[in-house]
Structure 1
Amino acid sequence: MAQIAIARPLSAFNEVSDNVYRSNFISSPTVKDTIGFGSPSKVISGNVRYERLLGDSEQSYYFQSRGEGVNDMYLHLGFHASAQLVQRTRVRAVWAILRVRHPLLASKVVMRDYDAVSFVYTSPRSSDEALMIADENLEYRSATKDELIDSYLNGPRTLSDERLSYLILSQSGISDNGLPNHDILICATHFLGDGMALHQFANDFFSLLGSTKTDSELETEVHDECRKRWSSSFNNAIPDSLESRLPEEGNRLCRVAAEIDFKRSQEKLIGGHAFPRRSATKRHTIVPTVAFDAQRTKAILKSCKAHGVSVSAALFAICNIAWARLTSDKPELPVMMYSALNLRPYLNATPANDSYWYLAVGYFNIIFPNFVPKSLDIASTFWQRAKSAKEQSTRAGKYPMIVSRSRLMARERGRRSRAWAREDDEKERGTWVPPEPSNDPKPKPHAPSTALIGLSLLGNLDGMYKHANFVDIKLHSLTTGSRQRSGGMLLFGYTFAGKLWISLGYDENGFDQEVVQTFWRNCLTAIDNFL
């Protein structure tokens, strides 16, 4: 469990119930009030404040993030573009447009109690105020890609309850085609949204940045966005939580059946393998990354297609074989890995003006044997396991009770996160009292449920980035991840710019280095051998 600093509850706002928006209309400012925000003609309205409680999923990520910023997301994109396209005035205008369209990016978090944590969004009074606030959350640096990522992952936390998103741009040399090479780091807390939101945002960002609009026209668009949203009552500025978007639970019998199903599904999660850990005073995350060129990537995709599996399914099997080659310990226990499940297809329909910045992820597990049968050649075993991963993934996504499982899992994760947060705060204050020991003389034995590693498999990202919309910008590299807790590890796999990318983000101080490095080499060797 991550150590969390004390969060001081704030009491500046009135409490509201979940999914209820409360606005506080302030009279439109006078000309004097607009000093520093532009001419009176740019004033839209008085500030409008919206607030809603975080849902269970959002809370589970929020409480982990306090203090050290565990799970704070980043998306790095390297690109070639003229210096004119990345001038601060232009980037600021694009950033302001998107912050108005997606209010969670410009929101804050207020915690009053462990079950009363809220998003609070205050609309800008004018387009100039929107530009000014966007500029305050935009930074230009002179740093390489690796320096940007290392600083975000291992340095002081960039984000906070007061700043849930941030942009960093840097220029790092000249490309072969004579254009400057730029790096952008898009930063956002995980309780704001998920990978789908992050990549959709990046596509929209570059579509605006690389458009034919002038800087002045983009600033006019900031004004138009503000006027469209705030010149009249706008009742859903903050997107609803995952739990409120899921279809209704049904009658009491349905709820009982769902709870039984959820309990049984949890009992089936059996895994007995983990990387050996070591204690360290300081976490240090590294992200070794390998990109396969376009020709090699096409061959890998062709091989997977010929065997009826996706690259994502193959990567589960790659990790399984890599671990089996590393250790023969506990062959009687299976290997369990976990991954995120996109829940957006299962949600109720939402209003047309709704933002895509919201959290909508569930989880599923892939379980394999931890041995290679001697009666089969290892290539056959590999493809059998890749097909098993495909079947398990498909079964998880198409399971009839996926909605109830997701809701109950979110509820359980929210409950645990609140309990752990309270315990951490009490330990920090020196007021924690350990629970009474159980009086049950014969606790029920249960199978181990240890996960070896998590996989974030993003698929073909070239399907999300509409490169034709920004022909004067050439995206050439992408790295993504999040700040980790001590002993964190996550493997990423995706296709971008015609290349297959594999990266392993992990705390190099939290594990036996020889074991992790051998596992990583085994993964790359298995890719060469089987794909």
Structure 2
Amino acid sequence: MAAAQFPPSPVSSDDALVHEAEESNVVPNHTVDIGKVSATSNGKTSEPVQYERRLGESELSYYLPSRATGVNDMYLHLDFRAPEHLLRHARVRMVWAILRGRHPLLASRVHMYEYNDVRFIYTPPQSPEDALISADNDLEYKSNTTRNGRNQEAPLKNYDMMICATHFLGDGMALHQFANDLFGLLGSSKTQGDLEALLNEEWQARWAGSIAEDSVLPESMEYRFPPETSKFRRAVGKVDFQRSQDELIGGQAFPRRSKQPRHTTVQTVSYDVDRTKAILKRCKAHGVSVSAALFAICNIAWAQLSQAKKELPTMMYSAVNLRPHFTVTSLNDSYWFLAVGYFNVILPTFIPRSVELSTVFWHRARIAKEQSTRAAKNPMIVSRSRLMASERGLRARIWAKEDDDKDRGLFVSPPPASTTHVKAVRAPSTALMGLSLLGNLDGIYKYASYPEIQFNSLTTGSRQRSGGMLLFSYTFAGKLFISLGYDENGFEKACVERFWENILQATDELMVN
């Protein structure tokens, strides 16, 4: 086996992760706005210039929970065959150095001054050789002579590549676009000398002349939204956001197990090209996408399993790409930044006996499509996303401080809620699970640009929190992949296994046959 584990620089904090503002002896030497970049040299000409900016609210909501156990860290595993000369260590390192130069967050670190002030810090390479050394420090390359008992001495060898990145750096779209660019360089006709010349050329263009500070680090999602200067619009946005939150009703949840150490397992199935074509054809005939159909598949699979609270609907959540809603143009053209919003799909839990299951399924797939489209095209999506980011950031800061206080032995439980005030009764808003629906990745991977590389499979996911569950779906190399990742110590094992069996059976019966 020849395997290249190729992780983007794991952005990490300094040794002292958290300082209370009043306790910390680390005083920031300046303040920057979210999305804005500032450069400092600490007054010493011998030290390289550093560029930094604060994390936005969405980035912060992913960063703070990740500090202890890497929650939400993303991975992308690719299994492929390629000629050996395209994957030699020196060539991989050169390409990695080129891409780190184009996407500086991959070579940045994070420093936390306080809960409201966490910053990306980027120190540019001082030379092309320095860029290579830095890239090599964040590259793990392993090579064996056999893989699965097969001789690897033939001109085409099997490779496994693992690309890893923290989620506060970017999202799934950035990860897959990066993989395409990576293979585009590795699998190109460029010689080692050509790639070295490209690294030198791009380093010279970025760092040899004058530098616009705002062009160094990509801005945060919140900075890229159109500015909201009207007090009236902000007030309307808050009312709309609260109304949309009040509409989230869900009463279904997997039975939980007593708290144990997290142990995530991933079940994956792929459908060959012919079966994938059949699935796509059936979905198109019923006016839905595979993504919409999978909401209905999960709904049916759960309804066949659950016997309780049938009167309460099933709510599932997913992410939406917010890049189409940006109006502020960044001077940095990197696509490595976080740009996701969130929406929910709510479907009935019961299955009527008087109607054929296939009819129920396709009807609910169309409902899921309508809800997904309405969320993505809602005229208030920017306002909702901005307010959701603020809410998630606030919650993350509160929970982070609680966690840190517990570690220090300083945590004090809040006093019990007063019984003198009657709280408004709200409908339950429990989500059954999350779905990460990446769609057709064949639209991202330009296989013709690297014809000597032949992919076998792709597996992607993220490190989940304790008691987490997430279903992934995507089409890659003409094949549909569905995978269910979950903490097997957080749920009743038999229940989840039956749910997964129901998903596969429903897919075969309703989408394939």
Q: Name the counterpart of 2:390.
A: 411
C-alpha distance in structure 1 between counterparts of 2:97 and 2:297, whole Å: 43
| Residues 143, 64 of structure 1: alpha-carbon distance in 2 compared, 3 angstrom cutoff | farther
| Residues 28, 410 of structure 1: alpha-carbon distance in 2 compared, 3 angstrom cutoff | closer
Instruction: Decide whether the 8 Å contact of 1:104 with 1:192 is kept in 2.
Output: yes
Name structure 1 gaps, 5 residues minimum: 34-45, 145-169
Secondary structure of the structure 1 residue equivalent to 2:282: helix
| Residues 364, 208 of structure 1: alpha-carbon distance in 2 compared, 3 angstrom cutoff | same
- Tell me the alpha carbon deviations over residues 287-338 of structure 1, each in whole angstroms, 9 at most, x when there is no partner: 1110100000000000000000000000000000000000121011000000
Secondary structure of the structure 2 residue equivalent to 1:51: strand
State the AA in 2 paired with 1:359.
L
Secondary structure of the structure 2 residue equivalent to 1:287: strand
Name structure 2 gaps, 5 residues minimum: 1-14
C-alpha distance in structure 2 between counterparts of 1:511 and 1:300, whole Å: 31
- Tell me the alpha carbon deviations over residues 155-206 of structure 1, each in whole angstroms, 9 at most, x when there is no partner: xxxxxxxxxxxxxxx9775689962110111010000000110010000000
Q: Name the counterpart of 1:335.
A: 314
- Tell me the alpha carbon deviations over residues 202-248 of structure 1, each in whole angstroms, 9 at most, x when there is no partner: 00000000111111221221111111111121322111111111111
Q: Name the counterpart of 2:450.
A: 470
What does 1:112-151 correspond to in 2, within 5 Å?
A: 112-141=113-142
* Aligned CA-pair RMSD: 2.2
How far is the alpha carbon of 1:461 from its aligned partner? 0.2
How far is the alpha carbon of 1:142 from its aligned partner? 5.4
State the AA in 2 paired with 1:331.
K
Q: Name the counterpart of 1:486.
A: 466
Q: Name the counterpart of 1:230.
A: 207
How far is the alpha carbon of 1:277 from its aligned partner? 1.1
- Tell me the alpha carbon deviations over residues 110-142 of structure 1, each in whole angstroms, 9 at most, x when there is no partner: 001000100000000000000000000000235
What does 1:247-396 correspond to in 2, within 5 Å?
A: 247-351=226-330, 353-396=332-375
Q: Name the counterpart of 2:439.
A: 459
Q: Does structure 1 residue 528 correspond to structure 2 residue 512?
A: no
Q: 2:167 aligns with which of 175, 190, 194?
A: 190
Q: Name the counterpart of 2:3.
A: none
Q: Does structure 1 residue 210 correspond to structure 2 residue 190?
A: no
Q: Name the counterpart of 1:519.
A: 499
Secondary structure of the structure 1 residue equivalent to 2:168: coil
C-alpha distance in structure 2 between counterparts of 1:65 and 1:103, whole Å: 20
Instruction: Decide whether the 8 Å contact of 2:260 with 2:490 is kept in 1.
Output: no
| Residues 299, 250 of structure 1: alpha-carbon distance in 2 compared, 3 angstrom cutoff | same
Secondary structure of the structure 2 residue equivalent to 1:191: helix
Instruction: Decide whether the 8 Å contact of 1:328 with 1:371 is kept in 2.
Output: no
TM-score, normalised on structure 1?
Answer: 0.88
| Residues 24, 484 of structure 1: alpha-carbon distance in 2 compared, 3 angstrom cutoff | same
Instruction: Decide whether the 8 Å contact of 1:57 with 1:359 is kept in 2.
Output: yes
- Tell me the alpha carbon deviations over residues 405-429 of structure 1, each in whole angstroms, 9 at most, x when there is no partner: 0000000000000011011111111
Q: What is the number of residues matched between the two proteins?
A: 487
C-alpha distance in structure 2 between counterparts of 1:215 and 1:27, whole Å: 39
Q: Name the counterpart of 1:148.
A: none
Larger deviation, residues 247-256 vs 69-78: 247-256
State the AA in 2 paired with 1:446.
R
Instruction: Decide whether the 8 Å contact of 2:84 with 2:155 is kept in 1.
Output: no
TM-score, normalised on structure 2?
Answer: 0.91
Instruction: Decide whether the 8 Å contact of 1:197 with 1:357 is kept in 2.
Output: yes
Q: Name the counterpart of 1:164.
A: none
Instruction: Decide whether the 8 Å contact of 1:142 with 1:171 is kept in 2.
Output: no
Q: Does structure 1 residue 62 correspond to structure 2 residue 63?
A: yes
Larger deviation, residues 231-240 vs 318-327: 231-240
C-alpha distance in structure 2 between counterparts of 1:112 and 1:15, whole Å: 12
Instruction: Decide whether the 8 Å contact of 1:171 with 1:182 is kept in 2.
Output: no
C-alpha distance in structure 2 between counterparts of 1:117 and 1:467, whole Å: 39
Q: 2:381 aligns with which of 396, 402, 405?
A: 402
| Residues 49, 223 of structure 1: alpha-carbon distance in 2 compared, 3 angstrom cutoff | same
How far is the alpha carbon of 1:249 from its aligned partner? 1.7
C-alpha distance in structure 2 between counterparts of 1:334 and 1:175, whole Å: 53
How far is the alpha carbon of 1:435 from its aligned partner? 2.2
How far is the alpha carbon of 1:286 from its aligned partner? 1.1
C-alpha distance in structure 2 between counterparts of 1:419 and 1:348, whole Å: 31
C-alpha distance in structure 1 between counterparts of 2:259 and 2:400, whole Å: 22
| Residues 517, 6 of structure 1: alpha-carbon distance in 2 compared, 3 angstrom cutoff | farther
Instruction: Decide whether the 8 Å contact of 2:219 with 2:330 is kept in 1.
Output: no
C-alpha distance in structure 2 between counterparts of 1:307 and 1:346, whole Å: 29
Instruction: Decide whether the 8 Å contact of 1:6 with 1:428 is kept in 2.
Output: no
How far is the alpha carbon of 1:257 from its aligned partner? 0.6
| Residues 512, 416 of structure 1: alpha-carbon distance in 2 compared, 3 angstrom cutoff | same
State the AA in 1 paired with 2:278.
A
